[in-house]
Amino acid sequence: STKTELPAPYGPWMEIAHDLPQLITSHRLRSQVHQMPQLSARHLRGREELHLAHLVLSFITMGYLWQEGEEGTVKVLPRNLAVPFWEVSQAIGLPPILSHADFVLANWRRKNLNGNLDTIISLPGGESLRGFTLVTLLVEKAAVPGIKAIVQAIRAILRLDEETLHKALQELAEAIGNMSKALKRMHDYVDPAVFYAVIRIFLSGWKDNPAMPDGLIYEGVSDEPMAYSGGSAAQSTVLHAFDELLGIRHSEESTAFLHRMRDYMPPPHRAFVEEIHRAPSLKQHVLSSRDARLCVAFNQCISALADFRSYHITIVTKYITVAAAKAKARWAEPGDRAGPSTGKPPSVLEAKGTGGSHIFSFLKSIRDTTREGMISA
Protein backbone atom coordinates (compact mmCIF):
# COMPACT_ATOMS: atom_id res chain seq x y z
CA SER A 1 0.00 0.00 0.00
CA THR A 2 1.13 3.55 -0.67
CA LYS A 3 2.21 5.83 2.17
CA THR A 4 -0.26 8.70 2.34
CA GLU A 5 1.07 10.65 5.34
CA LEU A 6 4.47 12.13 6.14
CA PRO A 7 5.96 12.02 9.67
CA ALA A 8 4.52 14.50 12.20
CA PRO A 9 7.11 17.30 11.79
CA TYR A 10 5.93 17.67 8.20
CA GLY A 11 2.36 18.45 9.27
CA PRO A 12 2.57 22.03 7.88
CA TRP A 13 3.21 20.67 4.36
CA MET A 14 0.45 18.08 4.60
CA GLU A 15 -2.11 20.57 5.92
CA ILE A 16 -1.55 22.83 2.93
CA ALA A 17 -1.38 19.90 0.48
CA HIS A 18 -4.71 18.45 1.62
CA ASP A 19 -6.43 21.82 1.21
CA LEU A 20 -4.95 22.82 -2.17
CA PRO A 21 -8.11 23.13 -4.30
CA GLN A 22 -9.75 25.45 -1.72
CA LEU A 23 -6.58 27.47 -1.09
CA ILE A 24 -6.00 28.00 -4.80
CA THR A 25 -9.57 28.89 -5.79
CA SER A 26 -9.83 31.34 -2.87
CA HIS A 27 -6.41 32.84 -3.83
CA ARG A 28 -4.96 32.07 -0.37
CA LEU A 29 -2.26 29.52 -1.23
CA ARG A 30 0.60 31.97 -1.75
CA SER A 31 0.08 33.66 1.61
CA GLN A 32 -0.17 30.24 3.32
CA VAL A 33 3.12 29.16 1.75
CA HIS A 34 4.78 32.39 2.93
CA GLN A 35 3.80 31.48 6.51
CA MET A 36 5.01 27.89 6.21
CA PRO A 37 7.93 27.05 8.56
CA GLN A 38 11.30 26.28 6.95
CA LEU A 39 11.60 22.49 7.24
CA SER A 40 14.57 20.36 6.31
CA ALA A 41 14.10 17.25 4.19
CA ARG A 42 16.75 15.49 6.31
CA HIS A 43 14.24 13.76 8.58
CA LEU A 44 12.54 11.92 5.73
CA ARG A 45 13.37 8.22 5.83
CA GLY A 46 13.35 5.81 2.94
CA ARG A 47 12.18 5.98 -0.64
CA GLU A 48 8.44 5.98 0.06
CA GLU A 49 8.60 9.02 2.33
CA LEU A 50 10.86 10.85 -0.12
CA HIS A 51 8.54 10.12 -3.05
CA LEU A 52 5.50 11.25 -1.06
CA ALA A 53 7.34 14.43 -0.04
CA HIS A 54 8.23 15.08 -3.71
CA LEU A 55 4.57 14.58 -4.64
CA VAL A 56 3.37 16.95 -1.90
CA LEU A 57 5.94 19.69 -2.61
CA SER A 58 5.45 19.47 -6.37
CA PHE A 59 1.67 19.94 -6.04
CA ILE A 60 2.15 22.89 -3.65
CA THR A 61 4.67 24.38 -6.11
CA MET A 62 2.32 24.10 -9.11
CA GLY A 63 -0.50 25.65 -7.09
CA TYR A 64 1.76 28.46 -5.85
CA LEU A 65 2.97 29.20 -9.35
CA TRP A 66 -0.33 29.12 -11.23
CA GLN A 67 -2.69 30.39 -8.47
CA GLU A 68 -3.42 33.55 -10.48
CA GLY A 69 -3.47 31.90 -13.93
CA GLU A 70 -1.05 32.39 -16.79
CA GLU A 71 -0.99 36.17 -16.39
CA GLY A 72 -0.20 36.23 -12.67
CA THR A 73 3.06 34.29 -12.59
CA VAL A 74 5.92 34.84 -10.15
CA LYS A 75 9.65 34.84 -10.76
CA VAL A 76 10.73 33.32 -7.45
CA LEU A 77 9.76 30.19 -5.54
CA PRO A 78 10.17 31.12 -1.85
CA ARG A 79 12.99 29.55 0.13
CA ASN A 80 10.82 27.60 2.59
CA LEU A 81 9.34 25.69 -0.38
CA ALA A 82 12.28 25.80 -2.82
CA VAL A 83 15.01 24.47 -0.52
CA PRO A 84 13.26 21.32 0.78
CA PHE A 85 11.82 20.62 -2.70
CA TRP A 86 15.33 20.80 -4.13
CA GLU A 87 16.74 18.54 -1.36
CA VAL A 88 14.04 15.89 -1.88
CA SER A 89 14.47 16.07 -5.66
CA GLN A 90 18.24 15.58 -5.41
CA ALA A 91 17.75 12.63 -3.04
CA ILE A 92 15.55 10.66 -5.47
CA GLY A 93 16.93 11.88 -8.77
CA LEU A 94 13.80 13.67 -9.99
CA PRO A 95 13.63 17.32 -11.11
CA PRO A 96 12.05 19.93 -8.77
CA ILE A 97 8.74 20.10 -10.64
CA LEU A 98 5.57 18.01 -10.90
CA SER A 99 6.29 15.07 -13.22
CA HIS A 100 4.27 12.16 -14.59
CA ALA A 101 5.81 10.03 -11.83
CA ASP A 102 4.32 12.30 -9.13
CA PHE A 103 1.01 13.11 -10.74
CA VAL A 104 0.14 9.55 -11.71
CA LEU A 105 2.47 6.87 -10.42
CA ALA A 106 2.80 8.08 -6.83
CA ASN A 107 -0.58 9.76 -6.42
CA TRP A 108 -3.07 6.99 -5.75
CA ARG A 109 -4.30 4.87 -2.89
CA ARG A 110 -7.03 2.28 -2.44
CA LYS A 111 -10.15 4.03 -1.21
CA ASN A 112 -11.67 0.83 0.16
CA LEU A 113 -11.15 -2.92 0.15
CA ASN A 114 -12.84 -3.39 -3.24
CA GLY A 115 -9.79 -1.66 -4.63
CA ASN A 116 -11.57 1.53 -5.68
CA LEU A 117 -8.85 4.07 -6.37
CA ASP A 118 -8.55 7.62 -5.19
CA THR A 119 -5.91 10.31 -5.46
CA ILE A 120 -3.84 11.38 -2.45
CA ILE A 121 -3.28 15.06 -3.29
CA SER A 122 -5.54 17.11 -5.50
CA LEU A 123 -5.66 20.41 -7.41
CA PRO A 124 -8.62 22.39 -8.75
CA GLY A 125 -10.69 20.42 -11.25
CA GLY A 126 -12.73 18.19 -8.94
CA GLU A 127 -13.98 14.92 -10.41
CA SER A 128 -12.41 15.67 -13.80
CA LEU A 129 -8.98 15.99 -12.21
CA ARG A 130 -9.48 12.75 -10.31
CA GLY A 131 -10.69 11.07 -13.51
CA PHE A 132 -7.74 12.39 -15.50
CA THR A 133 -5.25 11.05 -12.95
CA LEU A 134 -6.89 7.65 -12.55
CA VAL A 135 -7.54 7.02 -16.27
CA THR A 136 -3.87 7.80 -16.93
CA LEU A 137 -2.98 5.38 -14.13
CA LEU A 138 -5.21 2.70 -15.71
CA VAL A 139 -3.35 3.15 -19.02
CA GLU A 140 -0.07 2.54 -17.13
CA LYS A 141 -1.61 -0.46 -15.37
CA ALA A 142 -2.75 -1.95 -18.71
CA ALA A 143 0.87 -1.65 -19.88
CA VAL A 144 2.26 -3.86 -17.08
CA PRO A 145 1.92 -7.22 -18.90
CA GLY A 146 3.62 -5.50 -21.87
CA ILE A 147 6.58 -4.47 -19.71
CA LYS A 148 6.87 -8.08 -18.49
CA ALA A 149 6.67 -9.25 -22.13
CA ILE A 150 9.64 -7.00 -23.02
CA VAL A 151 11.79 -8.78 -20.45
CA GLN A 152 10.60 -12.17 -21.74
CA ALA A 153 11.26 -11.16 -25.36
CA ILE A 154 14.83 -10.00 -24.71
CA ARG A 155 15.61 -13.21 -22.80
CA ALA A 156 14.09 -15.27 -25.62
CA ILE A 157 16.27 -13.50 -28.23
CA LEU A 158 19.39 -14.26 -26.17
CA ARG A 159 18.36 -17.93 -25.90
CA LEU A 160 17.18 -18.14 -29.54
CA ASP A 161 13.85 -19.38 -28.20
CA GLU A 162 11.43 -18.48 -31.02
CA GLU A 163 8.41 -20.01 -29.28
CA THR A 164 8.75 -17.84 -26.17
CA LEU A 165 9.56 -14.81 -28.33
CA HIS A 166 6.41 -15.29 -30.41
CA LYS A 167 4.28 -15.57 -27.25
CA ALA A 168 5.92 -12.47 -25.71
CA LEU A 169 5.21 -10.39 -28.84
CA GLN A 170 1.57 -11.48 -28.82
CA GLU A 171 1.32 -10.48 -25.15
CA LEU A 172 2.91 -7.11 -25.91
CA ALA A 173 0.44 -6.41 -28.76
CA GLU A 174 -2.45 -7.36 -26.48
CA ALA A 175 -1.22 -5.09 -23.68
CA ILE A 176 -0.91 -2.12 -26.05
CA GLY A 177 -4.46 -2.79 -27.27
CA ASN A 178 -5.65 -2.76 -23.66
CA MET A 179 -3.91 0.59 -23.12
CA SER A 180 -6.05 2.06 -25.92
CA LYS A 181 -9.17 0.62 -24.26
CA ALA A 182 -8.15 2.20 -20.94
CA LEU A 183 -7.50 5.56 -22.64
CA LYS A 184 -11.05 5.51 -24.10
CA ARG A 185 -12.39 5.87 -20.54
CA MET A 186 -11.17 9.48 -20.56
CA HIS A 187 -14.47 10.44 -22.26
CA ASP A 188 -16.48 9.10 -19.29
CA TYR A 189 -14.53 10.77 -16.52
CA VAL A 190 -13.02 14.02 -17.78
CA ASP A 191 -14.92 17.11 -18.95
CA PRO A 192 -12.95 18.80 -21.77
CA ALA A 193 -13.95 22.31 -20.62
CA VAL A 194 -12.61 21.64 -17.12
CA PHE A 195 -9.44 20.00 -18.42
CA TYR A 196 -8.71 22.87 -20.79
CA ALA A 197 -9.65 25.83 -18.61
CA VAL A 198 -8.75 24.57 -15.13
CA ILE A 199 -6.53 21.49 -14.94
CA ARG A 200 -4.00 21.97 -17.70
CA ILE A 201 -2.31 25.07 -16.41
CA PHE A 202 -1.35 23.35 -13.15
CA LEU A 203 0.58 20.72 -15.11
CA SER A 204 2.51 23.35 -17.05
CA GLY A 205 6.20 23.98 -16.52
CA TRP A 206 8.58 26.88 -16.95
CA LYS A 207 10.57 25.79 -19.96
CA ASP A 208 9.33 26.57 -23.47
CA ASN A 209 6.38 28.32 -21.85
CA PRO A 210 5.78 31.92 -23.01
CA ALA A 211 3.93 32.64 -19.73
CA MET A 212 7.26 32.14 -17.89
CA PRO A 213 9.95 32.94 -20.44
CA ASP A 214 12.73 33.33 -17.87
CA GLY A 215 12.19 30.13 -15.91
CA LEU A 216 12.00 30.18 -12.10
CA ILE A 217 14.42 31.18 -9.35
CA TYR A 218 14.54 28.57 -6.57
CA GLU A 219 15.34 30.89 -3.68
CA GLY A 220 18.12 29.62 -1.44
CA VAL A 221 19.18 27.11 -4.10
CA SER A 222 20.49 29.25 -6.94
CA ASP A 223 20.44 32.92 -7.93
CA GLU A 224 20.05 31.90 -11.59
CA PRO A 225 16.57 30.97 -12.82
CA MET A 226 16.09 27.32 -13.82
CA ALA A 227 13.75 25.99 -16.48
CA TYR A 228 11.88 22.67 -16.25
CA SER A 229 9.24 21.14 -18.52
CA GLY A 230 5.72 20.48 -17.30
CA GLY A 231 4.24 17.05 -16.59
CA SER A 232 3.65 15.08 -19.77
CA ALA A 233 2.76 11.56 -20.85
CA ALA A 234 6.02 11.74 -22.81
CA GLN A 235 7.63 11.15 -19.38
CA SER A 236 5.95 7.74 -19.11
CA THR A 237 8.57 5.00 -19.20
CA VAL A 238 6.18 2.60 -20.88
CA LEU A 239 6.16 4.11 -24.37
CA HIS A 240 9.93 4.71 -24.32
CA ALA A 241 10.40 1.03 -23.45
CA PHE A 242 8.14 -0.13 -26.31
CA ASP A 243 9.90 2.16 -28.82
CA GLU A 244 13.31 0.88 -27.77
CA LEU A 245 12.27 -2.77 -27.98
CA LEU A 246 10.59 -2.37 -31.38
CA GLY A 247 13.49 -0.32 -32.75
CA ILE A 248 11.32 2.65 -33.70
CA ARG A 249 13.33 5.63 -34.96
CA HIS A 250 11.64 8.99 -34.47
CA SER A 251 12.66 12.24 -36.18
CA GLU A 252 15.64 14.12 -34.80
CA GLU A 253 13.46 16.79 -33.21
CA SER A 254 11.01 14.32 -31.62
CA THR A 255 13.87 12.14 -30.39
CA ALA A 256 15.57 15.15 -28.77
CA PHE A 257 12.34 16.03 -26.92
CA LEU A 258 11.67 12.43 -25.86
CA HIS A 259 15.24 11.98 -24.61
CA ARG A 260 14.96 15.16 -22.58
CA MET A 261 11.77 13.76 -21.05
CA ARG A 262 13.77 10.81 -19.72
CA ASP A 263 15.37 13.15 -17.19
CA TYR A 264 11.89 13.41 -15.63
CA MET A 265 11.63 9.66 -14.96
CA PRO A 266 12.62 7.97 -11.70
CA PRO A 267 16.25 6.84 -12.24
CA PRO A 268 15.42 3.08 -12.11
CA HIS A 269 12.85 3.59 -14.90
CA ARG A 270 15.37 5.51 -17.00
CA ALA A 271 17.92 2.72 -16.43
CA PHE A 272 15.37 0.12 -17.58
CA VAL A 273 14.79 1.98 -20.87
CA GLU A 274 18.55 2.30 -21.43
CA GLU A 275 19.00 -1.41 -20.79
CA ILE A 276 16.45 -2.27 -23.49
CA HIS A 277 18.34 0.06 -25.82
CA ARG A 278 21.55 -1.90 -25.18
CA ALA A 279 19.93 -5.31 -25.72
CA PRO A 280 20.28 -7.13 -29.07
CA SER A 281 17.96 -5.73 -31.75
CA LEU A 282 14.57 -7.46 -31.84
CA LYS A 283 13.90 -6.17 -35.35
CA GLN A 284 17.19 -7.54 -36.71
CA HIS A 285 16.47 -10.85 -35.03
CA VAL A 286 12.99 -11.10 -36.56
CA LEU A 287 14.28 -10.09 -40.00
CA SER A 288 17.12 -12.59 -40.02
CA SER A 289 14.92 -15.37 -38.63
CA ARG A 290 12.80 -15.24 -41.82
CA ASP A 291 10.02 -16.60 -39.59
CA ALA A 292 6.64 -15.44 -40.93
CA ARG A 293 4.91 -15.90 -37.55
CA LEU A 294 7.46 -13.67 -35.84
CA CYS A 295 7.09 -11.02 -38.56
CA VAL A 296 3.31 -11.01 -38.13
CA ALA A 297 3.56 -10.78 -34.32
CA PHE A 298 6.17 -8.00 -34.58
CA ASN A 299 3.95 -6.03 -36.97
CA GLN A 300 0.95 -6.50 -34.66
CA CYS A 301 2.94 -4.74 -31.91
CA ILE A 302 3.85 -1.88 -34.25
CA SER A 303 0.30 -1.54 -35.47
CA ALA A 304 -1.17 -1.61 -31.93
CA LEU A 305 1.30 1.10 -30.88
CA ALA A 306 0.47 3.26 -33.93
CA ASP A 307 -3.24 2.84 -33.15
CA PHE A 308 -2.64 3.88 -29.52
CA ARG A 309 -0.82 6.99 -30.73
CA SER A 310 -3.63 7.78 -33.19
CA TYR A 311 -6.15 7.49 -30.40
CA HIS A 312 -4.05 9.80 -28.24
CA ILE A 313 -4.28 12.39 -31.05
CA THR A 314 -8.09 12.01 -31.03
CA ILE A 315 -8.16 12.67 -27.28
CA VAL A 316 -5.85 15.69 -27.56
CA THR A 317 -8.01 17.12 -30.36
CA LYS A 318 -11.09 16.91 -28.14
CA TYR A 319 -9.47 18.09 -24.89
CA ILE A 320 -7.29 20.87 -26.28
CA THR A 321 -8.19 22.03 -29.81
CA VAL A 322 -11.97 21.69 -29.66
CA ALA A 323 -12.06 22.77 -26.00
CA ALA A 324 -9.98 25.87 -26.86
CA ALA A 325 -12.35 26.83 -29.68
CA LYS A 326 -15.38 26.37 -27.42
CA ALA A 327 -13.81 28.40 -24.60
CA LYS A 328 -13.08 31.24 -27.03
CA ALA A 329 -16.61 31.15 -28.39
CA ARG A 330 -18.07 31.25 -24.86
CA TRP A 331 -15.80 34.15 -23.92
CA ALA A 332 -17.02 36.09 -26.96
CA GLU A 333 -20.69 35.70 -25.98
CA PRO A 334 -21.87 38.77 -24.06
CA GLY A 335 -23.57 38.23 -20.73
CA ASP A 336 -22.40 34.64 -20.30
CA ARG A 337 -19.57 35.32 -17.90
CA ALA A 338 -20.76 33.32 -14.92
CA GLY A 339 -19.18 30.15 -13.59
CA PRO A 340 -15.65 28.95 -14.17
CA SER A 341 -15.31 30.76 -17.51
CA THR A 342 -15.12 34.17 -15.82
CA GLY A 343 -11.39 34.26 -16.53
CA LYS A 344 -10.17 34.78 -20.05
CA PRO A 345 -9.58 31.36 -21.64
CA PRO A 346 -5.93 30.28 -21.42
CA SER A 347 -4.14 31.17 -24.63
CA VAL A 348 -0.43 30.77 -24.08
CA LEU A 349 -0.42 26.97 -24.33
CA GLU A 350 -3.14 26.70 -26.95
CA ALA A 351 -1.17 24.59 -29.42
CA LYS A 352 1.29 23.11 -26.95
CA GLY A 353 1.28 20.08 -24.71
CA THR A 354 1.89 20.58 -21.00
CA GLY A 355 5.47 19.38 -21.59
CA GLY A 356 5.98 22.28 -24.00
CA SER A 357 5.98 20.33 -27.28
CA HIS A 358 4.13 21.59 -30.35
CA ILE A 359 1.64 18.93 -29.68
CA PHE A 360 0.07 18.03 -33.04
CA SER A 361 3.18 18.02 -35.19
CA PHE A 362 4.92 16.05 -32.42
CA LEU A 363 2.17 13.43 -31.92
CA LYS A 364 1.55 12.96 -35.65
CA SER A 365 5.27 12.66 -36.30
CA ILE A 366 5.80 9.94 -33.67
CA ARG A 367 2.65 8.11 -34.82
CA ASP A 368 3.89 8.10 -38.43
CA THR A 369 7.43 6.99 -37.55
CA THR A 370 5.87 4.21 -35.47
CA ARG A 371 3.99 2.93 -38.56
CA GLU A 372 7.21 3.14 -40.59
CA GLY A 373 8.71 0.60 -38.18
CA MET A 374 6.68 -2.19 -39.82
CA ILE A 375 8.53 -5.08 -41.42
CA SER A 376 7.45 -5.57 -45.02
CA ALA A 377 7.16 -9.23 -45.91
Q: What is the set of domains in the chain, with CATH numbers? A: 137-215+241-332+342-373 (1.20.58.480)
Average pLDDT over residues 49-74: 95
Average pLDDT over residues 109-136: 84
pLDDT score for 338: 46
Q: Comparing 118 with 21, which gets the higher pLDDT?
A: 21
Looking at the predicted structure, is the pLDDT value of residue 100 above 50?
Answer: yes
What confidence category does residue 115 fall into, taking pLDDT thresholds of 50, 70 and 90? low
pLDDT score for 339: 45
What confidence category does residue 340 fall into, taking pLDDT thresholds of 50, 70 and 90? very low
What confidence category does residue 350 fall into, taking pLDDT thresholds of 50, 70 and 90? low
Q: What percent of the chain has pLDDT over 90?
A: 78
Q: What percent of the chain has pLDDT over 70?
A: 91
Q: How many CB atoms lie within 10 A of CB 342?
A: 8
Of 211, 227, 233, 205, nearest to 319 by C-alpha is 233
Average pLDDT over residues 54-76: 95
Average pLDDT over residues 209-224: 94
Q: Which of 48-52, 54-58, 115-119, 366-370 has the lowest mean pLDDT?
A: 115-119
Of 42, 34, 41, 73, nearest to 57 by C-alpha is 41
Q: Which of 2-6, 126-130, 317-321 has the lowest mean pLDDT?
A: 2-6
CA distance 69 to 48: 32
CA distance 330 to 136: 29
For 250, counting Cβ atoms within 10 Å of its Cβ (0-12 exposed, 13-18 middle, 19+ buried), the class is buried
What phi and psi, each to the nearest 5 degrees, are found at residue 354?
Answer: -65, -25
Helix and strand tally (H, E) in the chain? 18, 4
The angle formed by the CA atoms of residues 263, 96 and 58, to the nearest 5 degrees, is: 120
Q: Say whether 358 counts as a known binding-site residue.
A: no
CA distance 226 to 276: 31
Residues 6+ apart with CB under 8 A from 290: none
What confidence category does residue 342 fall into, taking pLDDT thresholds of 50, 70 and 90? very low
Looking at the predicted structure, is the pLDDT value of residue 316 above 50?
Answer: yes
Mean pLDDT of the chain: 91
Average pLDDT over residues 37-61: 94
Average pLDDT over residues 166-188: 97
What confidence category does residue 353 fall into, taking pLDDT thresholds of 50, 70 and 90? low
What confidence category does residue 377 fall into, taking pLDDT thresholds of 50, 70 and 90? low
pLDDT score for 208: 84
pLDDT, one tens digit per residue, over 227-268 is 999 999 999 999 999 999 999 999 999 999 999 999 999 999
pTM of the model: 0.91
Looking at the predicted structure, is the pLDDT value of residue 1 above 50?
Answer: no
